[in-house]
Structure 1
Amino acid sequence: MENLCDKTAIVGIGRTEISRNCGRTELKMATEAILDAVEDAGLNIEDIDGMINYTMDTAEQIEIVRSLGIPNLSFFSKTPYGGGGSCGTIAHAAAAVHAGLANYVVCVRSIRDASAPVKIGDFDTSKSSYNSDVYWGMYLPYGLITPVSWIGMFTQRYMHEYGIQDGAFFPIAQVARENANRNPHALFYNRPLTYEEYMDSPMNVTPLRRHDCCVNVDGAVAIIVTTADRAQHLKQRPAYISGVSQGMSTNGEQMTSFYRPDITGYPEIEEYGKKIFKMAGVTPQDIDVAQFYDAFSSEIPMQLEALGFVSKGEGVAYCEGGHRIRPDGELPINTSGGLMSEGYVHGMNLIAEGVRQIRGTSTTQIKDAELSLVTGGPGVPTGGLILKRR
């Protein structure tokens, strides 16, 4: 496989507001975010000739093309597995533009999780793979029907295995909230989180409290990818894609891989991590800032371990007190507030924040950030990427 290091770049990012009641359709928000990204890149809508979104999107590509008047798409695809597909959209786009299948590919996710009609278990089984995957029959009939219940199983075992005490994930939630307090776009802007509030919040599913969980929102994010050569002539500083890969390991399920020999880690993340660091020619210690997929707070220390930042079982200790993961620490994380405090746009907002760090435009900007890591959702087939400033 040819090394794609720095041969493609993100050149445009766009978004809608993050809210709890957007008052419009996912299609409308998708078009708004794409137009914003096109303007950000200094392009015209006619330049867009590739598109990637999620299999879970209700805003169909053919309707987006019609609504925006895009003349033609020469490349289009979708990524599955929810937030696990976030960085996968960038992988698809990078491959497409490098291969010459398209010139400017837009990746978009439009989600209305806060104001959409309530569905059993927060998903519509008629539009998902849940109704066709045999293993769901071992969980759903017995009440294990929500993401927090699935991740709660991994977290409970992780805490038992490594002697982690109740409340140990608070610094992760606290740092995310501190960063969100500086981000006017975040849902939790200017709303601090105290230890008392965290500990007094109800258990969603033991051992995960309300403030250990992401917040469902309405919103859309769009990201434009092109070749490195084209990127040099556009409006914004390019965020070069130095490493990007997906991972799907054996004996896995969609968020319920409970029958593996060890459920205190993420083999998919270990595998894609090896690839992206090798592709970029760097090590975890070279990363200046990271946007970890934080649908739940326990996912961050487990990702730190899977990606080689720390050894197995040391992730929670690394985050203790929050000092190492704050903006002035060894590895600043989730600088926009992340999915727990900015809002859950299925990971695409993390990619946009990774780009802002490269551009130097984040509300919690890390000085001289040259390498920015972004990860996709754990517990499912997933992916990650490393962005570079040069």
Structure 2
Amino acid sequence: MTRHGSGLRDRTAIAGVGWTEYSRNSGVSTLTLALRAVTAALDDAGLRLSDVDGVACHRVGDSVQAVLVAQALGVEDLRYHLDMFGGGGTSHQVVAHAAMAVASGMAETVVCWRAVNARSEFRMGGTGRPAPDALEFQYQLPYGYATPPQQYAMLARAWMHARGATSEDLGRVAVTQREHALLSPRAMMRRSLTMDDYLAARFIAEPLRLNDCCLETDAAVAVVVTSAERARALAKPPVLIAGAATGGGHTLFSNGRADPTVSAAADLAPRLYAAAGIGPDDIDIAELYDAFTFLVPLQLEDYGLVTRGETGGFYADGHAGLKGRLPVNTHGGHLSEGYVHGLNHVAEAASQLRGEAGDRQVPGATVALTTGQPGYVGGTSSALILRREESA
């Protein structure tokens, strides 16, 4: 019997991944970054530019249009095109849409990317440009309540209060991910982080300290999506897209979601697991969207990976480390590797499942959960479950 939501299961795969350097000043345009990441991903898959017939990205007025990337790649007959407006909550939705395009026959080879000069050019929450078009922003601005750290700080405080979480609980997330980042050749943060370092850092917006906040990064990441059958004949082992789901959320101001300490991921998770035909206990590694530290334990709860209120002990006992029960953000995440708005989590999951993560490789990892922002502020969320071919 076909289970509801299983139509995409294992029909498509990530066949290639590519990155640019992660830096604070790329010195090039977002178009150049996108093209570098895309060509690297195609090279990784053993494909040519002429194989591309679909393009997909997300952006928030901070990057190059998808059609311009297609033209620069020389795509003459563009069969599929997605240029999605949205932040990190849409990051995994882009890959899901590419998978749907391939599975439906609309396209054969779709490249998904995110390219940003998020430090040297377009700093999220910065000044000097028009205000967001969200209606409620007019009610925030008179109080100076405008930036992502301010918005998420209120959520973090509510979550900490509800769970009895401490600053040290958040600090363990930052410290653990820094340990992982030190094993990644791409990571921007190259110095170890102790709990004392974490607690001594300045507040950005209480309760969020400096190391609770993601990096500002100039970089691009790309993944190639094609059919599972075709991927098996390419250069690298295919990483099957076992399940994909998107969900709603709330903008903090205009939605009546009753409990802000439970995200839209809690609604999305059952559909995601059903689509992949597995449960939370089957997940080997988790790459969880981490614009701010508290989002990681919150998602561990909302995706059913850790019992609510027990994430502090989960981290204190080392279960999120590379040798732990469930390694989390094995690349260092947005906090310590770099902020490429969600897609670097997909690329890391694929690298882990292909056994190509080097010193940070999790032995025997066959199933990965990778997530976008869990529905706050932007009002949407998305996630994927990826699977190594041998486990099919």
Please give the range of the TM-score, normalised by the shorter of the 2 chains.
over 0.9
Question: Which residue type is aligned with residue 233 of structure 2?
Answer: H
Q: Deviations over 1:70-91 (max 9, x none)?
A: 2221111133331111110111
Whole-Å separation in 1 of the counterparts to 2:159 and 2:286: 22
Q: Tell me the equivalent position of 1:265.
A: 262
Please point out which of 96, 103, 106 is paired with 1:101: 106
Q: Tell me the equivalent position of 1:382.
A: 381
Checking the alignment, whether the CA contact within 8 Å between 1:257 and 1:263 is kept in structure 2 is no
* Equivalent residues in 2 for 1:161-310, closer than 5 Å: 161-189=162-190, 191-249=191-249, 252-253=250-251, 259-266=256-263, 268-310=264-306
Question: Which ranges of 4 or more aligned residues in structure 1 deviate by more than 4 Å?
Answer: 255-259
Checking the alignment, whether the CA contact within 8 Å between 1:150 and 1:256 is kept in structure 2 is no
Give % identity: 37
Checking the alignment, whether the CA contact within 8 Å between 2:14 and 2:238 is kept in structure 1 is yes
Gaps of 5+ in 1: none
Whole-Å separation in 1 of the counterparts to 2:297 and 2:361: 22
1:281 to partner: Cα distance: 1.4
Q: TM-score of the superposition, structure 1-length normalised? A: 0.93
Please point out which of 354, 360, 377 is paired with 1:359: 354
1:325 to partner: Cα distance: 0.3
1:317 to partner: Cα distance: 3.0
Q: Bigger CA drift: 298-307 or 162-171?
A: 162-171
Q: Tell me the equivalent position of 2:96.
A: 91
Superposition RMSD on alpha carbons, in Å?
Answer: 1.7
1:55 to partner: Cα distance: 3.6
Whole-Å separation in 2 of the counterparts to 1:286 and 1:61: 35
Whole-Å separation in 1 of the counterparts to 2:128 and 2:230: 41
1:279 to partner: Cα distance: 1.3
Checking the alignment, whether the CA contact within 8 Å between 1:172 and 1:297 is kept in structure 2 is yes
Gaps of 5+ in 2: none
Q: Deviations over 1:281-304 (max 9, x none)?
A: 111111111101111000011101
1:42 to partner: Cα distance: 0.6
Please point out which of 64, 76, 90 is paired with 1:59: 64
Whole-Å separation in 1 of the counterparts to 2:245 and 2:75: 29
Whole-Å separation in 2 of the counterparts to 1:348 and 1:100: 24
Checking the alignment, whether the CA contact within 8 Å between 1:81 and 1:382 is kept in structure 2 is no
1:222 to partner: Cα distance: 0.8
Checking the alignment, whether the CA contact within 8 Å between 2:65 and 2:83 is kept in structure 1 is no
1:306 to partner: Cα distance: 0.7
Whole-Å separation in 2 of the counterparts to 1:152 and 1:337: 21
Whole-Å separation in 2 of the counterparts to 1:205 and 1:21: 25
Q: Bigger CA drift: 307-316 or 341-350?
A: 307-316
Question: Which residue type is aligned with residue 332 of structure 2?
Answer: G
Distance 1:222 1:118, change over 3 A: closer
Number of matched pairs: 380
Q: Deviations over 1:295-323 (max 9, x none)?
A: 100001110111111233333332225x0
